Structures are given as C-alpha cells and as structure tokens.
C-alpha cells in the first residue's frame, strides 16, 4: 500500500522510520518532511496545512493510507476531506480535533461527561474574565483556547499575574487568534504524565506510559515549551492510575464523542496531573505527542501501519500491541532563544556537525525536527532542531547513551536539558 505521511517534525521522523519498516508499505511519501526523513521516503513539497494540496496529491497518487502527524491539518479537516475521496486517514475528523484545537469545547465535553479536570470557565470578553479572576483568591491558570504550539498556557502564582495573563492574551494578543477565547481555571498541583491511546471510534488501546519535560530549563524551570525531552516507560503510571483513567476519562470521553456523532479514529493524548484527589485531565491532544512519540515508537514492536489500519477500519479489538521491555529516551536539542523568545527571534541557519558520528553509536537514533539542507550543509531551521534518542536495559543506561551521543553533536547556541529522565 502507498502511504502518505503528513508533517515535518521529530514525531513524524519517528513515524516515518516505523512506517518504512512495515511490510504493508510499498512506497512512502512524506509531505513536506525534513532532510532527516529523505532516506526513508519521497519528500513531497506540500505544506502540512495545505489540505486541498494534500488531498489532490493523495487522489492522483492513489494513496492507500494517509497518516496525519500534527494537529494543524487535523483541525483544518484533512481527515474529513480525505474520507470524502474514500481515502483512509489516520487521525480524527475536524470535529474530533476540536478536543485539542478548542479548549473551551474540550472543557464543555469534560463537564458534560463528568471527566475530572480543573474547575474553570471560558471567556470571550476581557471584562468578564477580569471580574471572574477578582472573585477568586486561589492560584489560577490562564489558557488561550486555540492552537498555540504548546505555549498558550500561563500558570499564575496569584490573581495579579492572572490579570496580566488575560490582558496579554486578550488585549495584546500574544497568542494571536488562538487567544480570542480564554480559559481561566483552578491551578492543580502534582506530577504530570502523558497517557496516549490508539482509538478506533468506539474503543481505545492504551500505549505504554511516556513522560514529557515541558519546561525549557533543568529542574522544570523557565517557560513552557513544546517539549524538551521524554522517556518511556514512566514509573509514575501505576495500574491503579491506568484503571482510573480508563474508567473516569477514556470511557466517558469516547461515549460523549459517540453521542455527538464525532468521528475519532487516531490517537488520543491525555495530559494528566496526578493530584491528591486522583488523576485529573489538563488537556487532550488529537495526535502523538512530540517528543513522546520518539521513545514510544522506539519501543513499539508491533507494525505501526497495521495498528493505524486497525484504528481506521474500526478493528482495534484485533490488535495486541507489543512493546520492547527496554527503556527509551529522547533529548531535544534546541536553538538559541527557543523557549524564551518569540519564534521569529530564534537563531536559525546555523551549521550542525557531528550527527553521523553520534548516530553510529549503538542504540542511538536521531530524529530531525528543525533542520534544512542548503548547498549540501545541514543547518538549523527551527526552535527544536533534533531529538537524540537512545534505548537501554533501563532508563539510566538509555540516558547515558543519549547524553554521550549529544557530546558529539554541535551547533552554535545549542541548548538542551541535562536532566531528561533523571527524576524517574
């Protein structure tokens, strides 16, 4: 079967390596991909958010399955448009993607299905949001409701900070249109964990646990980012939490989606906070996490294409997912300024060296994210540049291998966290 993979980040590079390895894949196209993915498939210069261009390509190339990596094309209805052309799409419909793309919708569904989450409200008017904050004395979190590349959340220490946050989002529009609606909610405390499941519309199959490190700095300090590293398995996720999450979150959510006749076939990502009152939902994402996908896919032994087809064909019950018992870790190497500066002020176009030597180390895999090829030289082209991944008999071994690979890689301004996987 011909497969089209949509996206260009580290997550998609990891997906491409597993799709390419599948006997079910006769040819892999990647739109638009990145230089690291070039050895795995044909790179097609169509942007990931160009729904019409992608559908046209899929029709003309008789693509059998389109695997959609990022949230943007899902929120723009790529899966719906492909279904219209009778092309199989792995990833939820536009309505399903609202779980991620519209946090007000997601809150509404959670309230309706009695899913444990932070108590909060959505606002479209600044004065209403301000009045609500003034009526509260507890620490709050302010969120842009729309898609803001993992950065639309401001965790506030007190109401003064919360007032600043809503003003910045609604008046100064620091997250653009994503901040037209804001959510103000109670600030929860506890360790965080990501729970991912393959979903076939009615049923979900949980993946192994993965843990992300969202803050830019060591010891979870500094601003939130898209994710600076991840590892799997994650010892925080106990059987008790899994049972609770199944019963209190996943089952009621899938029932609610079904009641609303929302077509959800793909990945459901649940950001959980383990509070003293039990696990509560921080957010839903409608796709693999990046960088959680990298260690998860390094550990997934089952054929990814077969798994995606089982979701699309509503046959998840025929699956048994097999996982490598070894641990895997991903450390993100980011450009100077990432996390602290706006995207257009991050240093880019810097030469990267040492990749081949690093990739030759046993148990190491390097996934590209923000890289580009110019005149035969590999340059940085984004905030998160590379994901250096390693497996090992345990997390400590995987960590050691990943960090020794990083020592061989260099680009000016390179920043990364030294403590990925250390707290586990």
Residue numbers at the binding site for ligand GLY (CB under 6 A): 150, 212, 226-227, 285, 289-290, 292
Which CB sits closer to ligand AMP, 106 or 380?
106
Give me 421's structure tokens.
């996987």
Least distance in angstroms from the C-beta of 417 to ligand GLY:
13
Question: What are the angstrom distances between the C-alpha of 207 and each of 233, 286, 309, 358?
Answer: 10, 15, 16, 29
Which one of 184-192, 249-257, 315-323, 354-362 is the stretch in contact with ligand AMP (CB under 6 A)?
184-192
Tokens of 307: 């798994």
- Region 275-314 residues binding ligand AMP, contact defined as CB under 6 A: 282-283
Among positions 95, 224, 347, 372, the unique one binding ligand AMP when judged by CB under 6 A: 224
**Shortest Å, Cβ 183 to ligand GLY:** 16
Q: What is the 3-state secondary structure (H, E, C) of the chain?
A: CEEEEEECCHHHHHHHHHHHCCCCCCEEEEEECCHHHHHHCEECCCCCCCHHHHHHHHHHCCCCEEEECCHHHHHCCHHHHHHHCCCEEECCCHHHHHHHHCHHHHHHHHHHCCCCECCEEEECCHHHHHHHHHCCCCCEEEEECCCCCCCCEEECCCHHHHHHHHHHHHCCCCCHHHHCCEEEEECCCCCEEEEEEEEECCCEEECCCEEECCEEECCCEEEECCCCEEEECCCCCCHHHHHHHHHHHHHHHHHHHHHCCCCCEEEEEEEEEEECCEEEEEEEECCCCCCCHHHHHHHECCCHHHHHHHHHCCCHHHCCCCECCCEEEEEEEECCCCCCCCHHHCCCCCECECHHHHHCCCCEEEEECCEEEECCEEEECCCEEEEEEEEECCHHHHHHHHHHHHCCCECCCCECCCCCCCCC
| 82 or 141: CB nearest ligand AMP | 141
Window of 72-80, 147-155, 159-167, 323-331 that interacts with ligand AMP by CB under 6 A: 147-155
185 is in the binding site of which of ligand AMP, ligand GLY, none (Cβ under 5 to 8 A by kind)? ligand AMP
Give the residue nearest to ligand GLY (CB): 227
Pick what 285 binds: ligand AMP, ligand GLY, none; C-beta below 5 to 8 Å, kind-dependent: ligand GLY
**Contact between 109 and ligand AMP per CB under 6 A:** no
Q: In this complex, which beta carbon is closest to ligand GLY, that of residue 139 or of residue 150? A: 150
- Any contact of residue 118 with ligand AMP (CB under 6 A)? yes
Least Å from the CB of residue 338 to ligand GLY:
14
Q: By CB under 6 A, tell whether 214 contacts ligand AMP.
A: yes
**Residue 165: partners with Cβ closer than 8 Å, 6 or more residues away:** 142, 154, 156
Interacting partner of 248 out of ligand GLY, ligand AMP, none (Cβ under 5 to 8 A depending on kind): none
Q: Using the minimum distance from each CB to ligand GLY, give the nearer residue, 228 or 309.
A: 228
Toward ligand AMP, which CB reaches closer, 191 or 325?
191
Residue with tokens 């007000």: 104
Of 187 and 202, CB closest to ligand AMP: 187
Please report how close the Cβ of residue 230 comes to ligand AMP at its closest, in angstroms.
12
Interface residue with ligand AMP among 108, 187, 326, 341 (CB under 6 A) is 187
With contacts defined by CB under 6 A, how many residues of the chain interact with ligand AMP? 15
State the sign of the Cα–Cα–Cα–Cα dihedral 92, 253, 202, 324: positive
The least distance separating ligand AMP from the CB of residue 178, rounded to whole angstroms, comes to 11
Contact between 155 and ligand AMP (CB under 6 A)? yes
Residue number, 35 or 152, with CB nearest to ligand AMP? 152
Taking the least distance from each CB to ligand GLY, the nearer of 348 and 384 is 384
Binding to ligand AMP by residue 190, rule CB under 6 A?
A: no
**In the complex, which residues of this chain contact ligand AMP (CB under 6 A)?**
118, 141, 143, 150, 153, 155, 185, 187-188, 192, 214, 224, 271, 282-283
């Amino acid at each position: 079967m011909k497969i089209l993979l949509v996206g260009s980040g580290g997550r998609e590079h990891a997906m491409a390596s597993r799709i390419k390895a599948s006997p079910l894949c006769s040819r892999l196209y990647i739109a638009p991909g990145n230089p690291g993915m070039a050895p795995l498939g044909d790179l097609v210069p169509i942007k990931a958010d160009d729904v019409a261009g992608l559908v046209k390509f899929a029709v003309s190339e008789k693509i059998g399955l389109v695997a959609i990596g990022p949230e943007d094309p899902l929120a723009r209805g790529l899966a719906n448009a492909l279904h219209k052309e009778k092309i199989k799409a792995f990833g939820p419909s536009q309505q399903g993607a609202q779980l991620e793309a519209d946090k007000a919708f997601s809150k509404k569904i959670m309230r309706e299905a009695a899913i444990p989450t932070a108590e909060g409200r959505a606002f479209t008017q600044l004065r209403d949001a301000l009045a609500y904050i003034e009526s509260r004395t507890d620490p709050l979190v302010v969120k842009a409701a729309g898609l803001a590349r993992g950065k639309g959340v401001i965790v506030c220490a007190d109401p003064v900070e919360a007032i600043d946050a809503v003003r910045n989002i609604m008046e100064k529009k620091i997250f653009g249109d994503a901040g037209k609606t804001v959510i103000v909610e109670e600030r929860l405390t506890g360790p965080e964990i990501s729970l991912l499941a393959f979903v076939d519309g009615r049923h979900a199959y949980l993946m192994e646990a993965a843990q992300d490190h969202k803050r830019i700095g060591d010891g979870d300090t500094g601003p939130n980012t898209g994710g600076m590293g991840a590892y799997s398995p994650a010892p925080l996720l106990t059987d008790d939490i899994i049972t609770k999450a199944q019963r209190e979150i996943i089952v009621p959510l899938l029932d609610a989606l079904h009641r609303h006749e929302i077509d959800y076939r793909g990945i459901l990502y649940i950001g959980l906070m383990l509070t003293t009152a039990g696990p509560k939902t921080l957010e839903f994402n409608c796709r693999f996490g990046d960088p959680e996908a990298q260690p998860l896919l390094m550990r997934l032994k089952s054929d990814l294409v077969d798994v995606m087809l089982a979701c699309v064909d509503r046959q998840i019950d025929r699956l048994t997912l097999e996982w490598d018992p070894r641990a895997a870790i991903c450390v993100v190497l980011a450009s100077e300024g990432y996390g602290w500066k706006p995207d257009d002020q991050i240093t880019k176009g810097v030469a990267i060296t040492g990749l081949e030597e690093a990739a030759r180390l046993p148990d190491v895999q390097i996934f590209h994210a923000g890289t580009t090829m110019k005149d035969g030289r590999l340059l940085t082209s984004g905030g998160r540049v590379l994901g250096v991944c390693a497996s090992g008999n345990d997390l400590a071994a995987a960590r050691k291998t990943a960090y020794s690979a990083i020592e061989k890689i260099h680009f000016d301004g390179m920043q990364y966290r030294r403590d990925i996987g250390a707290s586990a």
